[in-house]
Structure 1
Amino acid sequence: MGASDFSKLPHIGESVRRKEDYRFLTGAGQYTDDIVLAAQSFAVFVRSPHAHAKVVSVNTDAAKAAPGVIGVFTGADVAADNINGLPCGWLITSTNGEPMKEPPHPILAQGKVRYVGDGVAMVVAETLQQARDAAERVEVDYDVLPAVVNVADAAAGAVAGAGLHDIAEDNHCFKWAIGDKGAVESVFATAAHVTKLDLVNNRLIPNAMEPRAAIGSYNRGTDEYTLYVSNQNPHVERLLMTAFVMGLPEHKVRVIAPDVGGGFGSKIFLYAEDVCLTWASKKLGRNIKWVADRSESFLTDAHGRDHVSHAEMAMDANGKFLAMRVHTDANVGAYLSTFASAVPTILYATLLAGQYSTPQVYVEVDTWFTNTSPVDAYRGAGRPEATYLLERLVSRCAWDMGLAQDEIRKRNFITSFPYQTPVALQYDIGDYHACMTQSQELADVAGFAARRAASEAKGLRRGMGYSSYIEACGIAPSNIAGALGARAGLFECGEVRVHPTGSVTVFTGSHSHGQGHETTFAQVVAARLGIPVENVDIVHGDTGRVPFGMGTYGSRSISVGGAAIMKALDKIEAKAKKIAAHLMEASAADIDFAGGEFTVKGTDKKIPFAQVSLAAYVPHNYPLTELEPGLNETAFYDPTNFTFPAGTYICEVEIDPQTGVVRVDRFTAVDDFGTIINPMIVAGQVHGGVAQGIGQALMENGVYDRETGQLLTGSYMDYAMPRADDFPQFKLGHVCTPCTHNPLGTKGCGEAGAIGSPPAVINAVLDALAPLGVKDFDMPATPHRVWQAIQNAKT
């Protein structure tokens, strides 16, 4: 079945109410902290108060003697049991041909601590309070060392004695590049105009509703481990922990990720706490639970973004893009997290062509270790960083050339597909002009001048900003990703189990943490088989029940996980047609299947799907010589290419120059997600993404003290999160160019809002402030920073 046929089926494109919402809204969900096991104990981690220090000694005697304490573990215990450090899942090769510097990442500190919050010891006790009290009794002697926290300081070697790792004394992890450097430099040498821009993509601290949590359990009767964990991809968690860290047979470890209250990338990774609990559960013979409090999450969850970049665009006299060159210094934090090396390289630089037909692009990336929490994928993972840089640069080009923001984009849009970019990716399809046109209509661009005049009459400044983004979703195919450094496959698995009565259970390697998979996947199956949506159940998040899969990130669920389910449904339909043919005494080639019924071509013979499924399990009248009983099929899907959602966002802000307060007055988002299964769920994903993107643009900012390495924004008192009243009612629109290489025609929608919105907001802020002489500005546009920029422009 092709994508065009699939999009016409019942249930597809319908805003079916989410099946999972009833249990969430009535308190019937089961999150990791809701699970209570027999003989359950509690873990508390002793964490470094210093950003960089030698661990001279750790004295645990008083903690071990504290009431209720079952065990206390340190890095020495980890080393004695030969537990390896956490691995990085993506190997990058430097431009000099050498592999990236990959220092050990012990699950408890050994010899050194490298950021505030680095784990030094784990205390396990009968109750949480006893564990907390005992943790206070662990005595650690530190020899404090100089700390470096800013990526610019690390790149400049500005802090003497701040080398984090023996393998990287200069704190440099790797240098990576893509594009034809010589060709780009040749173009720049003769270009009519060159626009330059320096910018910072600020550090973000993920804040899901549910903090990270885990329970380690060991069964000595079967020599099997179970880890309950708030995680986005339990199979990858199990693979990394068993094969790389603990050296356990994979089939002896079961990872269960129940309901997950938000992830946004921060729950993709294998964290030290997960390994500690699993390892200690056997040593102590007890089930051990750990749940992070919000302050602990601020310190220890992998952070996002944190790039410092210089970008240049070469143009002809008419504003046509000829070549672009970029240099980025990326902060990876104290250690390489699971996908840290891929974010500022494969997932960032390959998107810097954007929607534009720029003939030559060259990107160079240096990555640096700092005394901060590890930096890894956060909603969009490299794509927001690329879009922010490119769309800020494109708007600057427009201002330099005296062109309107829409005009410069229209002059440079790609119009012919497939299109091979100069940075590896090949876009299969798109219609960027259509997205721009619809966005301008919904945003009422024609009425902007009147709105600006009305604002100025009140002493306010109004600005409009554009952002035309593209992202790459699905992260595939596996063989190409492997050649680029991935240490795991990037396929997905789906198992469709049809029951005798015609109801269906689907087992998927994808995992939901708020996206509505139980509804969307059920719609796909119901549409294909012609059965009610409520007759389809979705099972995910349990390595003991689900075939090996790669979880959810990179907006891959429907395009990769859904495609695997479609392939399994192909097998179901093929076998069911043979059964139906036998029941109706016809040839399988003459059987059609639509609307839940099998018919014989050219006749009025027909039987319902449930009759065929019953025959498969009660094979009294069944082609047993040709077919096995049952109706249960499994399929794997490895995409042949990324999918490429794209769109144009337009933001309109109003600024009070007396206070610097920025108010988002209007926001319009028009996206091309290909085939849309459930418009309501897609709208929710876009709303959430736009809110996160505006949060980064206007208020969120992870800041460490430059001298001590202390996290200054370690709570909601100092790290501002957006609230509902910070936003207007978003206007959404859709263009549909179905993906050409998956059976559903879908492209993915989970990250787009967070990708396209930050540059739209900042471009609008700069448009509003331009008459006051403000020419540049970095996120976040907080009132004080905006006010200060206005004051600086006056001098």
Structure 2
Amino acid sequence: MTGTGIGAPVRRKEDQRFITGAGRYTDDLSRPGQAHAYFLRSPHAHAKILSIDTAAARAMPGVVAILTGDDLAADKIGGLICGWMIHSKDGSPMKAGPHPALAQGKVRYVGDHVAVVIADTYAQARDAAEAIEVAYEVLPAVVDARAAQKAGAPQVHDVADDNTVFRWHLGDKASTDAAFARAAHVTKIDLVNNRLVPNPMEPRAAVGEYDPGNESYTLFTTSQNPHVARLVLSAFIGVAPEHKLRVIAPDVGGGFGSKIFIYAEETVCVWAARKVGRPVRWTSDRTEAFLSDAHGRDHATHAELAMDENGKIIGLRAQTIANLGAYLSTFSSSVPTYLYAPLLSGSYDIPAIYAEVDGVYTNTAPVDAYRGAGRPEATFVVERLVEVAARELGMDPAKFRKRNYVKRFPHQTPVIMTYDAGDYGASMDKALELADYKGFSRRKRESARRGKLRGIGFSSYIEACGIAPSQAVGSLGAGVGLWESAEVRVNPTGSIEVLTGSHSHGQGHETTFAQLVCDRLGVPIENVIIVHGDTDKVQFGMGTYGSRSGAVGMSAIAKAIDKVIVKGKKVAAHVLEAAEADIEFKDGKFTVAGTDRGVGFADVALQAYIAHKFSGQDLEPGLKEGAFYDPTNFTFPAGVHICELEIDPDTGVTTIERWTAVDDFGVIINPMIVEGQVHGGIAQGVGQALHEGAIYDESGQLVTASFMDYRMPRAADLPSFQVGMTVTPCPSNPLGIKGCGEAGAIAAPAAVMNAITDALGHEDIAMPATPQAVWRAAQKNAAMRVAAE
């Protein structure tokens, strides 16, 4: 099936229902007798709850129930958990404060859940919530992580005296200090990786349902990993026994990490459904999403790079303070630690690295994984350092990078990772050619004649995807394994159902997964259906995040297909009355080696179920196989992005004129889908660099709580992208896939900021580089020129 198999730009099968409005999302569901939930949220960033008076609200029309943290406690419903244990430098475990789904005694950020009103309609629930009287004792708040660690700062959780969750480190401090001691040049930089709000197109939603007949629960939810949601809700929060809880994630309209986590709202909806005897549904509005969806990034870092007299990097050290918000979200502790510091070697052969990371509580929304999760933060540190170092040394930034690239594989970094395959120089060479780097000076002069500032910026990124193997992540504190499961069911007619533990929320799995099946089994793509997102249909799976769907999820499918082929050969041997060892399979047909005798895949499937030809009990009827796949290593996509932009110094408006992306994603299943993923990731990265930033005022109020104040990237902000690929197959999975979904978001911020600072001629600007910020920086640039003259 060369036209639809691996490498073919097949149009996405799922798009027909999406673009015609036939998708089925959680908010589209309507359950018989359903009630609606509205969450009363704290208007204060930090306060004690003295009392909650619900009498007037309970008497309002349509109100079914009003539930608070006391009701959760009475039912012995546990708090939300963080599933990754981090230990501090001294060996002590991280300081995890309680995280009840409804506040108990205290609220810790604006938007914290105080109570839930359940009523016949959403409007009735909202009106009743406004009638609830909550007496608060308002406490001082702290929103900046650096300030939160200072003596006398408001204490967010009693378990953390200085608001510090952990003081973690990675690398060899002594060898790194020694490298700096002998360095010929040291570059130092202070960076802020700005806080972001994920804002997927579909807001979060949940519908909880209880069946008293068999005492079972069903939760429909916007989740990237429904099986993990079921596990946490049952085993750790205690909502229901695991075998009595079904979690269904139907069509999901984007996630970007924000739908990995187990939130208060879905917990409350499934718990409350039993208490009120009716299905309970909730859908977030956009303001709620700004306030209570897990945010991303929010790092403050001081970093240093040491070079010898030949411009060779010999050491890197970084000190990062990571704002984790008011509570530890599901995977929040892993993001600024094991998903960040092990990537501080970047694409470079750096012999000594030492990183220190403090995770800190503040009175802000919880912070967790957001597209890239730790790797964009690491890339921003490394690529800004490398760019500034090249400038200070008077070297071309491309040549400086190439001088320091890792050139031999496998390569063991000093911070855990073993890079298995790559060719970073090839990506740089191709990117320079596509970007017409040689012509940049001419274009810069042309811009200057028009009174504009033109700059070019590089980002030579690497990321770690397909987080695995389970043994490795377990040793680092992960509370779950990170394998994936698959089951391939061949029906008697030869059509195929693939049940996968991966979950699609925009990645195109229904197409790419089917392409793998077509390629391996030689069946038409229309005869393949992909089933996911339902814990009652699919055996336990780990979901989708960290660009793991191809490398891990598809590898599990490939293993199951291998088993189908093995059994198919057994069936074909019986049908063809030949020895099993003589049966070959190619292009959808089983044949006897050296002859023209054969039987098609669909015919073998039918014979497997008829089973007339089987002798004795040596072969079971049917053709269905399952597999679990646990990789031997992370995968390491890498590449070079080049941003060329122009600044109007009179207005501060930045216009991206050219964007070149050359990525190495290993084996490509569907180049059209891969290119789309790259485009989307770049857009998000540009959004962070130029527009987006969540800002809290000193009292803890989110002042960017709507699209009026939080600027998202638009099509007009972006040029046409020049996208190229290099390919070094990944040796740690059977398909050679590396992953592509996060690359653009990882590479883009550094490329943009390196281009802006190149245009300005100084480094004094931070993300987001809004027109106002750029205008101020341009005035400084003009002042510097005047002073020099």
TM-score, length-scaled by structure 2: 0.98
Counterpart of 1:652?
A: 644
AA aligned opposite 1:620: H
Distance 1:305 1:210 in 2: 21
Match of 1:56 among 50, 54, 69: 50
Report deviation, 1:175.
0.7
Report deviation, 1:633.
0.5
Counterpart of 1:85?
A: 79
Q: Residues 206 and 219 of structure 2 are in contact (CA less than 8 Å); yes or no, is this contact kept in structure 1? A: yes
Q: Structure 1 residue 722 and structure 2 residue 716: aligned?
A: no
Report deviation, 1:776.
2.8
Structure-to-structure mapping, 1:85-234, within 5 angstroms:
85-157=79-151, 160=152, 162-234=154-226
Counterpart of 1:752?
A: 743
Per-residue CA shift, 1:231-278, capped at 9, x if unaligned?
Answer: 100000010111000163201000000000000000000000111011
Counterpart of 1:43?
A: 37
Q: Residues 465 and 546 of structure 2 are in contact (CA less than 8 Å); yes or no, is this contact kept in structure 1? A: yes
Q: Residues 470 and 646 of structure 1 are in contact (CA less than 8 Å); yes or no, is this contact kept in structure 2? A: yes
Match of 2:7 among 13, 19, 43: 13
Q: Residues 155 and 329 of structure 1 are in contact (CA less than 8 Å); yes or no, is this contact kept in structure 2? A: no
Distance 2:153 2:766 in 1: 30
Q: Structure 1 residue 295 and structure 2 residue 283: aligned?
A: no
Which stretch shows the higher mean deviation, 15-24 or 243-252? 243-252
Match of 1:467 among 459, 462, 467: 459
Counterpart of 1:3?
A: none
Counterpart of 2:326?
A: 334
**Residue 217 of structure 1 aligns to a residue in which SS?**
strand
Distance 2:160 2:450 in 1: 56
Counterpart of 1:677?
A: 669
AA aligned opposite 1:354: G
Match of 1:361 among 353, 362, 381: 353
Per-residue CA shift, 1:67-110, capped at 9, x if unaligned?
Answer: 00000001111111111110101000111110000111000001
Counterpart of 1:373?
A: 365
Per-residue CA shift, 1:506-534, capped at 9, x if unaligned?
Answer: 00000000000000000001110001111
Distance 1:464 1:480 in 2: 39
AA aligned opposite 2:748: S
Q: Structure 1 residue 509 and structure 2 residue 501: aligned?
A: yes
Distance 1:471 1:270 in 2: 25
Unmatched runs of 5 consecutive residues or more in structure 1: 1-5
Q: Residues 9 and 527 of structure 1 are in contact (CA less than 8 Å); yes or no, is this contact kept in structure 2? A: no
Moved over 3 A (4+): none
Distance 2:4 2:687 in 1: 38
Q: Residues 9 and 528 of structure 1 are in contact (CA less than 8 Å); yes or no, is this contact kept in structure 2? A: no
Report deviation, 1:588.
1.1
AA aligned opposite 1:790: A
Match of 1:245 among 225, 237, 245: 237
Structure-to-structure mapping, 1:551-630, within 5 angstroms:
551-630=543-622
Counterpart of 2:384?
A: 392
**Residue 57 of structure 1 aligns to a residue in which SS?**
strand
Which stretch shows the higher mean deviation, 10-19 or 140-149? 10-19
Q: Residues 31 and 260 of structure 1 are in contact (CA less than 8 Å); yes or no, is this contact kept in structure 2? A: yes
Per-residue CA shift, 1:566-618, capped at 9, x if unaligned?
Answer: 00001100000011111111111111101000111111111100110000111
Report deviation, 1:301.
0.1
Distance 2:759 2:415 in 1: 34
Distance 2:340 2:7 in 1: 31
Counterpart of 1:709?
A: 700
Distance 2:335 2:81 in 1: 16
Per-residue CA shift, 1:386-410, capped at 9, x if unaligned?
Answer: 0001000000110011001101100
Q: Residues 9 and 671 of structure 2 are in contact (CA less than 8 Å); yes or no, is this contact kept in structure 1? A: yes
Q: Residues 294 and 715 of structure 1 are in contact (CA less than 8 Å); yes or no, is this contact kept in structure 2? A: yes
Match of 1:696 among 683, 688, 697: 688
TM-score, length-scaled by structure 1: 0.98
Per-residue CA shift, 1:276-300, capped at 9, x if unaligned?
Answer: 0111100111001000000000000
Distance 1:223 1:248 in 2: 9
How high is the sequence identity, in percent, across the aligned residues? 62
Q: Residues 235 and 543 of structure 1 are in contact (CA less than 8 Å); yes or no, is this contact kept in structure 2? A: yes
Per-residue CA shift, 1:619-652, capped at 9, x if unaligned?
Answer: 1122452110000001000111000000000000
Distance 1:27 1:761 in 2: 36
Q: Structure 1 residue 304 and structure 2 residue 296: aligned?
A: yes
Report deviation, 1:9.
9.6
Q: Structure 1 residue 350 and structure 2 residue 342: aligned?
A: yes
Counterpart of 2:729?
A: 738
Distance 2:191 2:241 in 1: 47
Q: Structure 1 residue 788 and structure 2 residue 782: aligned?
A: no
RMSD of aligned Cα (Å): 1.1
AA aligned opposite 2:408: S
Distance 1:499 1:271 in 2: 38
Distance 1:607 1:262 in 2: 43
AA aligned opposite 2:281: K
Report deviation, 1:152.
1.9
Q: Structure 1 residue 549 and structure 2 residue 541: aligned?
A: yes
Q: Residues 339 and 373 of structure 2 are in contact (CA less than 8 Å); yes or no, is this contact kept in structure 1? A: yes
**Residue 468 of structure 2 aligns to a residue in which SS?**
coil
Per the alignment, do residues 308 and 194 of structure 1 end up closer, same or farther by CA in structure 2, a change over 3 Å counting? Answer: same
**Residue 396 of structure 1 aligns to a residue in which SS?**
helix
Per-residue CA shift, 1:350-406, capped at 9, x if unaligned?
Answer: 000010000011111001000000000000000000000100000011001100110
Distance 1:693 1:277 in 2: 34
**Residue 143 of structure 2 aligns to a residue in which SS?**
coil
Q: Residues 579 and 623 of structure 1 are in contact (CA less than 8 Å); yes or no, is this contact kept in structure 2? A: no
Distance 2:91 2:114 in 1: 35
Report deviation, 1:148.
0.5
Q: Residues 649 and 779 of structure 2 are in contact (CA less than 8 Å); yes or no, is this contact kept in structure 1? A: no
Counterpart of 1:72?
A: 66
Distance 2:590 2:57 in 1: 70
**Residue 607 of structure 1 aligns to a residue in which SS?**
strand
**Residue 17 of structure 1 aligns to a residue in which SS?**
coil
Distance 1:151 1:402 in 2: 36
Counterpart of 1:498?
A: 490
AA aligned opposite 2:768: P
Q: Structure 1 residue 488 and structure 2 residue 480: aligned?
A: yes
Counterpart of 2:764?
A: 776
Report deviation, 1:49.
0.3
Report deviation, 1:161.
5.1
Q: Residues 147 and 153 of structure 2 are in contact (CA less than 8 Å); yes or no, is this contact kept in structure 1? A: no
**Residue 38 of structure 1 aligns to a residue in which SS?**
coil
Unmatched runs of 5 consecutive residues or more in structure 2: 785-789
Distance 2:214 2:677 in 1: 42
Q: Residues 54 and 142 of structure 1 are in contact (CA less than 8 Å); yes or no, is this contact kept in structure 2? A: yes
Per the alignment, do residues 161 and 348 of structure 1 end up closer, same or farther by CA in structure 2, a change over 3 Å counting? Answer: closer
Match of 1:254 among 246, 261, 268: 246
AA aligned opposite 1:94: S
Report deviation, 1:155.
3.0
Report deviation, 1:461.
0.4
Per-residue CA shift, 1:395-441, capped at 9, x if unaligned?
Answer: 01100110011011000000100000100010110000010011111
Q: Structure 1 residue 32 and structure 2 residue 26: aligned?
A: yes
